[in-house]
């Protein structure tokens, strides 16, 4: 008797997903609730767990296939099973060397324990031609992360050239002179990001206003209290806590920046749910810091650190992404000096942070070297006037330059 494996409910308004990777192969033993397949949705990657213990049966869909909620994707048969995969067909010609796709399923010890790869890791393995069995994983339960593969690729590149070249990645088209082109299908997440950003440009009347911030006071405050803060709250005191608090102050004073359009109506929120842009292996994701205006510095920093950690290991959920009334995106961590961020629909504004750079500025008639940061506020001009946008950004600037304002609500 077999048990059907179906696509689970994926979240509100999400009806379809893309098969990312099979974590269990036909013939392998499966425990109840053990992850057997990963699915990529518009927002996050989700594991499909086994509904019963037994032996992995037939895969009815393949990686890259689109599947709807409730669709039958595999079966689990009765029995104890093993780790070996079905033998190749008799008429299949033996391969002189394992292909990259086969390599990623090879045993890390040369035995029967398969290397389980997430979709992001799989793509990185294929892209760089790395044997996953040769890499020690630093992720949960020793699993490989994308960073592990990139580090191995860098080490391989820095090492002296081998006498024989590595096999070309799957999808690479050889060309004269060793010039290659690799064709890789966009992930569902990347497709959704592209559609949403283009939709924002096509629909909203986007405009960006800029200002610069003297980071001296915040940097001095952070340097003075970071050790005590870390000791008491067990989390690092960063800059995001200050900017989140400053943004909440501005949004309370200028409600339209925290509002959204719905048809011919404007929805004003009496709460602030901040979407925090976080880099994940499959692209940029924006988990939501709910009720940010009511949270302490410590809780904000803890939540943001947790988002970053879970984005890296792929454990963010649909609920983490839902909602959001305003977005903060910190391109400064990647070295950006200035940018014009695009709003995250249906939100109406996004704050862009950039790198801190020492620059000469005029202070009381004298030129001084100060740590300065450009900040940008992109907004939907349909519901936010220029005066309101400029005022909101000015409030953020003043709160960062004089952090006492955050304590006395100025």
Q: Virtual CA dihedral for 190, 39, 70, 52, nearest 10 degrees?
A: -170
C-alpha–C-alpha distance, residues 63 and 76, integer Å: 18
Domain final residue, candidates 182, 216, 241: 182
Least confident of 168-182, 301-315, 321-335: 168-182
Q: What is the pLDDT of residues 245-275, one digit of tens each?
A: 999 999 999 999 999 999 899 999 999 999 9
* Residue-level pLDDT at 141: 64
Domain final residue, candidates 167, 182, 197: 182
C-alpha–C-alpha distance, residues 31 and 46, integer Å: 18
Q: Supply the range of the domain harboring residue 84.
A: 2-182
Mean pLDDT of 371-394: 96
| Strands in 171-215 per DSSP E | 172-173, 181-182, 206-214
The first and second tokens of residue 14, run together, are 């999400």
**209 has which bridge partners?**
377
Percent of the chain with pLDDT strictly greater than 90: 38
Rg (CA), the chain: 25
Say whether both 101 and 126 belong to one domain. Answer: yes
* Residue-level pLDDT at 165: 46
Is residue 354 annotated as a catalytic residue, yes or no?
no
Domain count, the chain: 2
Greatest Cα pair distance in the chain: 86
* Residue-level pLDDT at 102: 38
* Residue-level pLDDT at 279: 77
The Cα angle at residue 353 between residues 351 and 356, in degrees rounded to 5: 160
* Residue-level pLDDT at 13: 62
Q: Which domain CATH number covers 283?
A: 3.30.559.10
Confidence of residue 33 (pLDDT cuts 50, 70, 90): confident
C-alpha–C-alpha distance, residues 169 and 192, integer Å: 26
List, in order, residues 6 or more apart from 109 with CB less than 8 Å away: none
Mean pLDDT of 119-148: 72
| Strands in 296-340 per DSSP E | 326-330
- Average pLDDT over the chain reads 81
Give the pTM.
0.63
Say whether both 30 and 151 belong to one domain. Answer: yes
Q: How many CB atoms lie within 10 A of CB 92?
A: 8
Say whether both 159 and 57 belong to one domain. Answer: yes
C-alpha–C-alpha distance, residues 274 and 291, integer Å: 8
Domain final residue, candidates 182, 197, 212: 182
Confidence of residue 16 (pLDDT cuts 50, 70, 90): confident
Catalytic residue among 33, 113, 227, 381: 381
Least confident of 115-124, 206-215, 297-306, 395-404: 115-124
Confidence of residue 227 (pLDDT cuts 50, 70, 90): very high
Say whether both 193 and 300 belong to one domain. Answer: yes
Alpha-carbon 156 to chain mean position: 26
DSSP symbol at 306: H
Q: How many CB atoms lie within 10 A of CB 163?
A: 5
* Residue-level pLDDT at 19: 86
Say whether both 324 and 254 belong to one domain. Answer: yes
- Comparing 59 with 280, the larger pLDDT belongs to 59
Is residue 59 annotated as a catalytic residue, yes or no?
no
Say whether both 22 and 125 belong to one domain. Answer: yes
Say whether both 149 and 273 belong to one domain. Answer: no
* Residue-level pLDDT at 117: 65
Say whether both 146 and 255 belong to one domain. Answer: no
Q: Is the pLDDT of residue 233 over 70?
A: yes
Say whether both 255 and 356 belong to one domain. Answer: yes
Nearest to 59 by CA among 101, 118, 4: 4
Q: Which domain CATH number covers 125?
A: 2.40.50.100
Q: Is the pLDDT of residue 387 over 90?
A: yes
Q: What is the pLDDT of residues 281-294, one digit of tens each?
A: 666 788 999 999 99
Say whether both 218 and 320 belong to one domain. Answer: yes
**173 has which bridge partners?**
181
Q: What is the pLDDT of residues 162-174, one digit of tens each?
A: 444 445 555 555 5
Mean pLDDT of 190-212: 86
Say whether both 147 and 178 belong to one domain. Answer: yes
Say whether both 291 and 393 belong to one domain. Answer: yes
* Residue-level pLDDT at 283: 66
């Amino acid at each position: 008797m077999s048990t059907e494996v179906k696509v689970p409910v994926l979240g509100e308004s999400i009806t379809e997903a893309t098969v990312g990777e099979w974590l269990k192969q036909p013939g392998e033993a499966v425990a109840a609730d053990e992850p057997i397949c990963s699915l990529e949705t518009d927002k996050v990657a989700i594991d499909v767990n086994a509904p019963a213990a037994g032996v992995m049966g037939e895969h009815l869909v393949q990686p890259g296939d689109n599947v709807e909620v409730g669709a039958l994707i595999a079966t689990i048969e009765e029995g104890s099973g093993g780790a070996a995969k079905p033998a190749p067909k008799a008429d299949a010609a033996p391969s002189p060397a394992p292909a990259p796709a086969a390599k990623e399923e090879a045993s890390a010890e040369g035995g029967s324990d398969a290397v389980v790869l997430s979709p992001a890791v799989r793509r990185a393995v294929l892209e760089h031609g790395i044997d996953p069995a040769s890499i020690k994983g630093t992720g949960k339960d020793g699993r490989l992360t994308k960073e592990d593969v990139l580090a191995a690729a860098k080490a391989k590149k820095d090492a002296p050239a081998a006498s024989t070249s590595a096999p070309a990645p799957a999808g690479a088209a050889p060309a004269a002179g060793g010039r290659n082109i690799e064709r890789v299908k966009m992930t569902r997440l990347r497709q959704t990001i592209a559609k949403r950003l283009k939709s924002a440009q096509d629909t909203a009347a986007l405009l960006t206003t800029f200002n610069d911030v003297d980071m001296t006071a915040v940097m001095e405050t952070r340097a003075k209290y970071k050790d005590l803060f870390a000791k008491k709250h067990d989390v690092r005191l960063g800059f995001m806590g200050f900017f989140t608090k400053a943004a909440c102050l501005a949004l309370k004073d200028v409600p339209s920046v925290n509002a959204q359009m719905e048809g011919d109506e404007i929805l004003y929120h009496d709460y602030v749910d901040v979407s925090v842009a976080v880099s994940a292996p499959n692209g940029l994701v924006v988990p939501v810091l709910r009720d940010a205006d009511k949270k302490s510095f410590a809780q904000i920093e803890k939540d943001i650190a947790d988002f970053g950690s879970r984005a890296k290991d792929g454990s963010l959920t649909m609920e983490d992404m839902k909602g959001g009334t305003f977005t903060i995106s910190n391109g400064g961590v990647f070295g950006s000096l200035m940018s014009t961020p695009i709003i995250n629909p249906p939100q109406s504004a996004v704050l862009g942070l950039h790198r801190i750079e020492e620059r000469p500025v005029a202070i009381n008639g004298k030129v001084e070297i100060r740590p300065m940061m450009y900040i940008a506020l992109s907004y939907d001009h349909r519901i936010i006037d220029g005066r309101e946008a400029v005022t909101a950004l000015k409030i953020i600037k003043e709160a960062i330059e004089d952090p006492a304002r955050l304590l006395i609500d100025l």
